[in-house]
Every structure is written in structure tokens, then in C-alpha cells.
């Protein structure tokens, strides 16, 4: 399903025309780490560029970005460690 996510209608389009789709598997991974207010979104910018964003929905805060699933998983692990090793 992930390979075809950009052919589906987006979950959200902002005022700049950037399209967002919830990355369910990466978001579920974050939730299993205890990052319950954190979600990952596939993003396609108006210029066609694609990436994934990590957002804390409770704070409305950008937490990270990467284009690969491995990069997103590593960033989620780092966010978890940062919050739990202080």
C-alpha cells in the first residue's frame, strides 16, 4: 500500500498545496514506543518533492523528517531515547 499512497486522495492539504497522508505503520511504531501523540505523515510538496514528517500532534510540533523508512524508524528511536533518558 505504501508504494501507492500518493495515488490516493490525501488526508489533508494545507493552504500552500502540500498534501499529507498518515503513515499508519510508522505511526503505530511510534505509539508502541510510548510516543502516543506522535504521528508520521507522507508528504508531497506542491513542487512534487516527497518526504515523511514526524509530528507531535498534541504540541503541534515538527520533530523530524526523512525520506526512508529506516531513517524515520531511527529518528523515532532517538526521540524515544531523548524523552526517556533525561
Give the count of domains, the chain: 1
Report pTM: 0.89
Q: Which residue segment(s) compose the domain that 71 sits in? A: 2-84
| C-alpha 65, offset from chain centre | 7
| CA nearest neighbour of 56 among 31, 83, 38 | 38
**∠ CA 47-43-57, rounded to 5°:** 140
Provide the 10 A C-beta neighbour count for residue 11.
Answer: 11
pLDDT in tens, 30-83: 999 999 999 999 999 999 999 999 999 999 999 999 999 999 999 999 999 998
Backbone angles phi, psi at 8, to 5 degrees: -90, 160
Q: How high is the pLDDT of residue 3?
A: 60
Q: How high is the pLDDT of residue 4?
A: 84
Q: How high is the pLDDT of residue 65?
A: 96
Confidence check: pLDDT of 1 > 50: no
Amino acid at each position: 500500500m505504501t508504494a501507492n499512497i500518493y495515488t490516493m486522495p490525501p488526508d489533508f492539504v494545507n493552504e500552500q498545496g502540500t498534501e499529507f497522508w498518515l503513515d499508519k505503520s510508522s505511526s503505530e511504531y511510534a505509539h508502541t514506543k510510548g510516543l502516543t501523540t506522535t504521528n508520521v505523515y507522507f508528504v508531497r510538496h506542491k513542487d512534487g518533492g516527497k518526504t515523511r514528517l514526524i509530528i507531535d500532534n498534541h504540541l503541534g510540533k515538527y520533530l523530524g523528517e526523512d525520506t526512508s523508512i529506516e531513517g524515520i524508524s531511527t529518528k523515532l528511536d532517538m526521540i524515544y531515547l531523548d524523552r526517556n533518558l533525561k
